[in-house]
Structure 1
Amino acid sequence: MLRRAPNVLSLRLTALLCVTFAALAAAAQEGREHFVPLFVADADPDGRQGFLRIVNHSDRGGAVQIYGIDDAGERRGPLELSIDALETVHVNSKDIEDGNTTKGLSGELGAGEGDWRLLLYGGGLDIEPLAYIRTMDGFLTSMHDVVRETALRHRVPIFNPGSNDNQRSWLRLVNPGDAAANVTITGRDDTGATSVDPPRVTIPAGAAVTLSAQDLEAGAGGVNGQLGDGAGKWSLDVAADRPILVMSLMTLPTGHLSNLSGARPEYRGATGLWRIAFDDAAGGEGYLLLLPDSRMYAWLPESADTNRIARATYETATGTVSGSGELFESGNIQLVGADVSGGSEAFSFTAEYRFGDWVRGSYTPAGGSPRSFHGWAFTGFERGGSNVAVAGLWSPTLGDDADLPGELEPDAGGDFELDFTANGIRCEADGVLAPVNPAFAAYEAAPAVRCLVLQFPSGTVELILAVMDSDGAPGGGDRALGLVVIPDDRKIALGALFDLSRS
């Protein structure tokens, strides 16, 4: 049943937390663990029923052990299911809670707090558990999927507003660990506006909570903060300080329930922001930015003193991305007569990736050797772009020693000024920062820049700000890669990492 979070004072966690050595030793003999994220209780108020189909692909029979963990975190079981070679067995919520020897079940879970999640162990059997919810009229819905996770972040692409009573959205958060998980939920509505006071909730060890859209919008049901009243539907970014499982569910007045946790993994191709490391271990961490309009930028440290900035275009195929462009030396700006110049060289790159997850590849300067890299995505990059989200003082992490040492302070409308000194040459810039695409936390501007007696009018200079989270602050959006590129015949590029101080 879809209920609000149980009272944390009544949570019964002893069974989950007091795991004995003997139990661990027994678990080692149970074989692969199979997980069912949601199995509704037999007492579901809307008459829904959990339905479990267990397929034995082995050519021998045996026993399957089934444990249930209720929403309060109490672990029950095991039940033991006898299954023959190549047999498929069906059990439902009543069978699991009350037992059913006619189906080969021995034991029972009894009634729990809220709904269940199940753990199944087949020993040496090759089993495939398939979980569904069946409504009173026979409608069947799959309960296999959970929201995809990368680096403790989960993206929910569609979530109905609380005002929609005909299609109610629910967010189910499961903490399988042995310590409390702190969760922050950032919402973005259909106009691209983000929640000012993101909802926060703590999930006790082993417990699960199910929150309605009304809970998240109003800060009810044990939630601190609120989404507020958005326009249209929401997309959610769920960040936690410990591993959790997330499900996006929808219920109808008829009692029907849908699992909307799945996403299209191929959608938007390679677009994203990755933190990368290099196989040669030189220079420290880099960053790879792929924008949805096929532009690529990268921050590529090559030594303690030399950072390269890449500017390129790219193409994608299934699981691969490749392109070519120019490599600039960050901070290389020289006074040449009454002009300034830097320099660049051509390069190419190729990589394999999984959207929102990993990337591995190499880049090759013209006439040079490939340099290999690998890295992981910042999923917070998908939280959306809003000028309000980046309003404040952005300061380079290395101060005056940064290649782009100036402070950037856009206001809520995106207007900013930037004063910096590069290699003894003082420059001033001003412009308007705006999201590259409302779906991503990347911003750009075409500022006017003045260096000494030189002027670079708007349109000749590119400023890119790719926002990410600092370590230990999921959902914060308080760190960014900032790049200024003058790609004409002067070939100048400057970059730095920035931290945000909100006013």
Structure 2
Amino acid sequence: MQVRILSAALLLCWPAIGQEAEDEPRGREHSVPLFMAHGNPDQRQGFIRIINHSDEPGMVEIEGVDDAGTRYGPIELSLDARQTKHLNSADIENGSEGKGLPDGLGDGEGDWRLLLYGGGLDIEPLAYIRTLSDGFLTSMHGVVPDASLRHRVPIFNPGSNVNQASSLRLINPGDGEAAVTITGRDDAPEDAEDDSEPGEFSLTISPGGAQTVGSAELEMDGIGDGTGKWSLDVRSDVPVQVVNLMSTPAGHLSNLSRANPNYRGATGIWQVSFEDEAGGDGYIILLPDSRMYAWLPEADEVNRMARGTFESTPGGIAASGELYESGQFELQGLTAVGGSVDFDLAAAYRPGDWIRGTYTAEGTDRAFHGWAFTGFERGGAAAEVAKLWVPVLGDDADLNENFEPGADGELGFSFTAGTFTCNVTGTIGPVNPAFTVYEADVTIICSLLILPPGVVDLIVAVFDSPESPGSGDRAMVLAIVHDDTKIGFGAVYGLDES
């Protein structure tokens, strides 16, 4: 009875999550990692092609962040239905009435990182750099893939190669400083008798800022000399973006950031079935910063939730953490207490395709296999999940009430737990612009008990139902209090289309 009281009371708050914003929702955030400033001394010009795939006209908001981390704009570009427009560096900084961009960003320090918001439009921005001397054009929308706050740069020329000079553009999109460490591996075979530590290059990037580091600087100030080319490992304490660039004496600039898609790692949402055929399908979430969450049904009325971390192994991935049973706890005085057990997981996978493995808890192994969700792009803004969601199991779900996040992402609600009232405040937003997982940063106050954001994880993962690929009409909600109380609850939801 105590479990039912708290679960039901908690869900009464869900309809209040994120009240509707007064302004129109901005839509998904599209990021351009490098856009050349007007008047570039190397005669390079930024060039962006913005495609409106919608059947309606509208406005696109454009913001610019310069290399010092200063934010400019927004400025607005008008687009007709199914229209495409091209903007260059001069247009972005000075505006162009003829192109439907009356205002510009102005002058910044160094080059730009652009952020575009289509509101209700389905837009596709494509960024390029044009060499003015001969018209050479190269794409500039790619960034180096990341996993576990690490970026692998598979090819990087040595400082001695001045005809094909390599450099890294390192971008800190966050609100705090980013500490970055770079190590390198050259083309020479590994010497089993050499036990020396590899050299490191370290730097700090200011909030919102960007720095460019050349190969000669990396070698001189950290990683040393090598044989042949380099493979770099870039690590950071907070999420950063990395762009791998190569320039020639003629002024040409190439973006070598894109990786072989067959080696992009395990990040994503996976739907799995269990060989014991108990409990129905489960879901595993592997985030770019190495966090792992999972919904693991074990019986008709027993659902486990996993919270842990994962890392790459030669055969796939390995993960560990804690398992919580959804909705199970008891009241001890004024405190609700649940419980957890440790788990380990090992799995092999093919990126974007299949996964198979085993997780172990309390000495019992449970095998699973499944498939990746691919092609769905609801990620990028809280407005994208500002819909009415209903639990798939209805009243039988651990979270058995509807919820409807608002477009602004702000949330504030109350619920009754036993004999006292709990107040929750915070925001919900995307993990990153292209990932279909959202998390809430919340504080819960229950009488004298305060649960700060550091002990509460609230995750919303959006994916497809089997009968409607590409629709994004399913969501999994996991709420875990991971301090000494060890409480977790969750449910699978469907999008209400009525």
TM-score of the aligned structures, taking structure 1 as reference length: 0.51
8 Å Cα contact 1:154/1:238 also seen in 2: yes
The Cα shift of 1:77 comes to 0.9
Are residues 149 and 359 of structure 1, via their aligned partners in 2, closer, same or farther at CA, if it must alter by over 3 Å? farther
Deviations 1:161-194 (A, max 9, x none): 1111000001010001000000010111111569
Are residues 119 and 351 of structure 1, via their aligned partners in 2, closer, same or farther at CA, if it must alter by over 3 Å? same
- 2:164 aligned residue: 167
Secondary structure, counterpart of 1:206 in structure 2: coil
Are residues 231 and 288 of structure 1, via their aligned partners in 2, closer, same or farther at CA, if it must alter by over 3 Å? closer
The Cα shift of 1:352 comes to 3.8
Letter of the 2:145 partner, please give it: R
RMSD of Structure 2 on Structure 1 (CA): 3.8
* Residue 60 in structure 1 maps to residue 56 in structure 2: yes
- 1:71 aligned residue: 67
Provide the rounded CA distance (Å) in 2 between the counterparts of 1:72 and 1:124.
31
Secondary structure, counterpart of 2:27 in structure 1: coil
8 Å Cα contact 1:167/1:250 also seen in 2: yes
Provide the rounded CA distance (Å) in 2 between the counterparts of 1:80 and 1:244.
27
Please show how residues 249-288 of structure 1 align to structure 2 within 5 Å. 249-267=245-263, 279=296
Letter of the 2:101 partner, please give it: L
Are residues 190 and 33 of structure 1, via their aligned partners in 2, closer, same or farther at CA, if it must alter by over 3 Å? same
Are residues 206 and 267 of structure 1, via their aligned partners in 2, closer, same or farther at CA, if it must alter by over 3 Å? closer
Secondary structure, counterpart of 1:106 in structure 2: coil
The Cα shift of 1:79 comes to 1.4
Structure 1, gaps ≥5 residues long:
1-23, 220-225, 304-348, 375-503
TM-score of the aligned structures, taking structure 2 as reference length: 0.52
Letter of the 1:87 partner, please give it: Q
- 1:151 aligned residue: 148
Are residues 41 and 372 of structure 1, via their aligned partners in 2, closer, same or farther at CA, if it must alter by over 3 Å? same
- 2:406 aligned residue: none
- 1:13 aligned residue: none
Letter of the 1:188 partner, please give it: R
- 2:351 aligned residue: 354
- 1:238 aligned residue: 234
Letter of the 1:146 partner, please give it: V
Are residues 178 and 27 of structure 1, via their aligned partners in 2, closer, same or farther at CA, if it must alter by over 3 Å? farther
Deviations 1:253-306 (A, max 9, x none): 000000000110214999xxx998995779998989754xxx799899999xxx
Deviations 1:362-388 (A, max 9, x none): 379xxx9843499xxxxxxxxxxxxxx
Provide the rounded CA distance (Å) in 2 between the counterparts of 1:48 and 1:212.
18
Provide the rounded CA distance (Å) in 1 between the counterparts of 2:355 and 2:197.
30
Percent identical residues: 56
The Cα shift of 1:100 comes to 1.0
The Cα shift of 1:69 comes to 0.6
Secondary structure, counterpart of 2:138 in structure 1: strand
The Cα shift of 1:33 comes to 1.2
Please show how residues 34-433 of structure 1 align to structure 2 within 5 Å. 34-136=30-132, 137-192=134-189, 196-219=198-221, 226-267=222-263, 279=296, 291=314, 351-354=348-351, 361-362=357-358, 370-372=366-368
Letter of the 2:182 partner, please give it: I
Structure 2, gaps ≥5 residues long:
1-19, 191-195, 267-289, 299-303, 324-345, 371-498
Provide the rounded CA distance (Å) in 1 between the counterparts of 2:232 and 2:218.
11
Provide the rounded CA distance (Å) in 2 between the counterparts of 1:87 and 1:258.
28
8 Å Cα contact 1:276/1:373 also seen in 2: no
Deviations 1:65-90 (A, max 9, x none): 11111000111111111111111000
Provide the rounded CA distance (Å) in 2 between the counterparts of 1:108 and 1:268.
37
Secondary structure, counterpart of 1:52 in structure 2: strand
Deviations 1:403-427 (A, max 9, x none): xxxxxxxxxxxxxxxxxxxxxxxxx
Provide the rounded CA distance (Å) in 1 between the counterparts of 2:232 and 2:53.
38
Secondary structure, counterpart of 2:262 in structure 1: coil
8 Å Cα contact 1:276/1:288 also seen in 2: no
Secondary structure, counterpart of 1:72 in structure 2: coil
Letter of the 1:151 partner, please give it: S
The Cα shift of 1:228 comes to 0.7
8 Å Cα contact 1:186/1:195 also seen in 2: no
The Cα shift of 1:106 comes to 1.4
Secondary structure, counterpart of 1:214 in structure 2: helix
Larger-gyration structure (1/2):
1
The Cα shift of 1:144 comes to 1.2
The Cα shift of 1:130 comes to 0.6
Provide the rounded CA distance (Å) in 2 between the counterparts of 1:65 and 1:275.
32
The runs of at least 4 aligned residues of structure 1 exceeding 4 Å deviation read 24-28, 192-195, 267-270, 274-290, 295-303, 357-360
Larger relative contact order (CA 8 Å, sep ≥ 6): 2
Provide the rounded CA distance (Å) in 1 between the counterparts of 2:197 and 2:34.
28
Provide the rounded CA distance (Å) in 2 between the counterparts of 1:302 and 1:33.
33
Deviations 1:221-272 (A, max 9, x none): xxxxx011111111111010001100100000000000000110214999xx
Provide the rounded CA distance (Å) in 2 between the counterparts of 1:181 and 1:67.
22
Deviations 1:117-163 (A, max 9, x none): 10111111111111000112111111111000112111000111111
- 1:393 aligned residue: none
Provide the rounded CA distance (Å) in 1 between the counterparts of 2:33 and 2:310.
35
8 Å Cα contact 1:282/1:301 also seen in 2: no
8 Å Cα contact 1:78/1:107 also seen in 2: no
8 Å Cα contact 1:49/1:93 also seen in 2: yes
- 1:489 aligned residue: none
- 2:343 aligned residue: none
Letter of the 1:263 partner, please give it: A
Please show how residues 468-487 of structure 1 align to structure 2 within 5 Å. none
Stretch deviating more after TM superposition (281-290 or 184-193): 281-290
8 Å Cα contact 1:275/1:288 also seen in 2: no
8 Å Cα contact 2:44/2:129 also seen in 1: yes
Provide the rounded CA distance (Å) in 1 between the counterparts of 2:37 and 2:203.
24
Provide the rounded CA distance (Å) in 2 between the counterparts of 1:285 and 1:122.
35
Letter of the 1:206 partner, please give it: G
Provide the rounded CA distance (Å) in 1 between the counterparts of 2:349 and 2:87.
42
- 2:454 aligned residue: none
Provide the rounded CA distance (Å) in 2 between the counterparts of 1:119 and 1:301.
36
8 Å Cα contact 1:195/1:228 also seen in 2: no
